[in-house]
Amino acid sequence: MNTQNQILQVDGLTKTYGKGGNRTEALKGITFTVLEGEFLGIMGASGSGKTTLLNCIATMLRPTSGKIVLQGRDISGFRGSALADYRGKEIGYLFQDFELLDNLTARENITLPLALHGVTAEKAEADMEALAAMLDIAGTLDKFPSQLSGGQKQRVAAARALIGNPSIVLADEPTGALDSKNSKILMDKLSAINRGQGKTIMMVTHDAGAASYCSRILFIQDGGIFHELRRNMQTETTAMFYERIVAVMAQLGGGSANVL
């Protein structure tokens, strides 16, 4: 990980829904940075604001105030083609429930973002095959989503999020629809890509097992940052980090079962 370069800066971010007596503050002035090559986890109880935070960075939601700066550019001012380029080229989004198009093969689902942005078929195919090998889905490329297991679908979705070589991958509960075996397979693959290629990943999760693969975790409570954990990547195993995560989760909401 390059510890010198800040790839993402979130400064004083707020998000308010409703007005008057129905006013809800989902985010209350959150500030943090993400370093290039970091694997950052975001955890917190249901309603804490963690998915709102992720969706503001993805420009699915517009924050009420504050700044989001990616690669030195304030995204709040993006409109039209600049916003489309940001969504299509700077970020990759990995959804909990895959969001694959049923009438397209795995191959077509993965390369669709490149086709939308004018990348040649030859380059798209080469990039897709490299990712398919890394994610162990080469044998599924000509199948439709209905012919794939949940684990295979999520690895296809991961390939689609990575295919454009985005500056940062945003993952929203990527193991939420998977069993424990497929969750581990996915996290092993994402961790290998993060550490081997230096790909920056920011992941919202309720799963302490998935979070234990991260290099740092921010715990969100009531729209603000409650606590931060950093993993010593040289000496701390995922099992050791898992124990520290569970201890903080218990403080957040009375036990790990409450951290959603």
pLDDT score recorded for residue 254: 47
24 is a domain residue: no
Per-residue pLDDT for 206 more than 60? yes
pLDDT score recorded for residue 185: 96
Quote the mean pLDDT of the chain. 90
Domains: count for the chain: 1
201 is a domain residue: yes
139 is a domain residue: yes
Which CB contacts under 8 angstroms, 24+ apart, belong to 163-166?
A: 163/92, 163/110, 163/111, 163/113, 163/114, 163/124, 163/127, 163/128, 163/131, 164/88, 164/89, 164/92, 164/113, 164/114, 164/117, 164/119, 165/127, 166/89, 166/90, 166/91, 166/92
Q: Which domain holds residue 182?
A: 37-48+79-258
> Which residues fall within 8 angstroms of residue 78, CB to CB, at 6 or more apart?
59, 86
22 is a domain residue: no
pLDDT score recorded for residue 4: 62
Q: What is the CATH number of the domain that holds 92?
A: 3.40.50.300
163 is a domain residue: yes
Per-residue pLDDT for 87 more than 90? no
Indicate yes or no: pTM above 0.85.
yes
pLDDT in tens, 132-191: 999 999 999 999 999 999 999 999 999 999 998 999 999 999 999 999 999 999 999 999
- Mean pLDDT for 104-133 is 89
pLDDT band with cut points at 50, 70 and 90 for residue 253: low
